[in-house]
Amino acid sequence: MINGGDALVLMPTGGGKSLCYQIPAMLRIGVGVVVSPLIALMQDQVDALLQAGVRAAFLNSSQDYETASEIERRLRADELDLIYVAPERLLTERFLGVMDHLLDKKHLALFAIDEAHCVSQWGHDFRPEYIQLTVLHQRYPTVPRIALTATADELTQNEIIRRLGLESARVFISSFDRPNIRYTVVERDNPRRQLLDFLATQGGAAGIIYCLSRKKVDETAAWLNGQGITALPYHAGLDAAIRQTHQQKFLRDEGIVMVATIAFGMGIDKPDVRFVAHLDLPKSLEAYYQETGRAGRDGEAAEAWMTYGLNDVVIHRLRIDESVAGEEQKRVERSKLDALLAWCETAGCRRSLLLKYFNEETSACGNCDTCIDPPQLWDGTIAAQKAMSAALRTGQRFGAGHLIDILRGKNTEKVQQFNHNDLPTFGAGSDLDEAAWRSVFRQLLASGLLFADAQAYGALRLTDAARPVLKGDTLLSLRRPVKPIRRKASRSLEKSALAGRRSTTDNMLTSAEASLFEALRAWRADKARDQGVPAYVILHDRSLIELATQRPANATELLGVVGVGQAKAERYGEDILRLLA
- Residue 189 scores a pLDDT above 90: no
Answer yes or no: is pLDDT of 451 > 90.
no
CATH superfamily of 181-372: P-loop containing nucleotide triphosphate hydrolases (3.40.50.300)
Tell me the pLDDT of the chain averaged across its residues.
88
Cβ atoms within 10 A of the Cβ of 41, count?
Answer: 20
pLDDT computed for residue 328 by the predictor? 86
Q: What pLDDT, on a 0 to 100 scale, did the predictor assign at position 317?
A: 84
Domain with CATH 3.40.50.300 in the chain: 7-173, 181-372
pLDDT 10s digits, 5-60: 999 999 887 778 889 999 999 999 999 999 988 776 788 889 889 988 899 999 98
Assess contact for 420 and 394: CB atoms under 8 A: yes
Q: Where in the chain is the domain with CATH 1.10.10.10?
A: 377-479
Q: Max CA-CA distance within the chain? A: 86
Tell me how far apart the alpha carbons of residues 253 and 248 are, in angstroms, rounded to a whole number.
8
Confidence of residue 244 (pLDDT cuts 50, 70, 90): confident
What CATH code is assigned to 7-173? Answer: 3.40.50.300
Instruction: Please list the residue range(s) of the chain that carry CATH number 1.10.150.80.
Output: 507-580
Asked if residues 279 and 219 have their Cβ atoms less than 8 Å apart, the reply is no
- The CATH superfamily assigned to 507-580 is HRDC domain (1.10.150.80)
pLDDT digit string, tens, across residues 459-493: 999 999 999 999 989 999 999 876 654 444 333 33
In tens, the pLDDT along 54-94 reads: 999 999 888 888 999 999 999 989 899 999 998 988 999 99
Taking only Cα atoms into account, the Rg of the chain, rounded to an integer number of angstroms, comes to 27
Q: Do 170 and 7 touch, CB atoms closer than 8 A?
A: yes
The model carries a pTM of: 0.80
Tens digits of per-residue pLDDT, 390-435? 999 999 999 999 999 999 999 999 999 999 999 999 999 999 999 8
377-479 CATH choice from 3.50.50.60, 1.10.10.10, 3.30.420.40, 3.40.630.30: 1.10.10.10
- Determine the Cα–Cα distance for residues 146 and 137; give it in Å rounded to an integer: 11
For residue 81, the model assigns a pLDDT of 94
Residues 6+ apart with CB under 8 A from 303: 181, 182, 184, 198, 202, 274, 275, 276, 295
Mean local confidence (pLDDT), 207-224: 96
Residue 372, number of CB atoms within 10 A of its CB: 11
Q: What is the DSSP letter of 469?
A: H
Confidence band of 170 (pLDDT split at 50, 70, 90) = very high
Can you tell me the distance from the alpha carbon of 344 to that of 362, in angstroms, rounded to the nearest whole number?
18
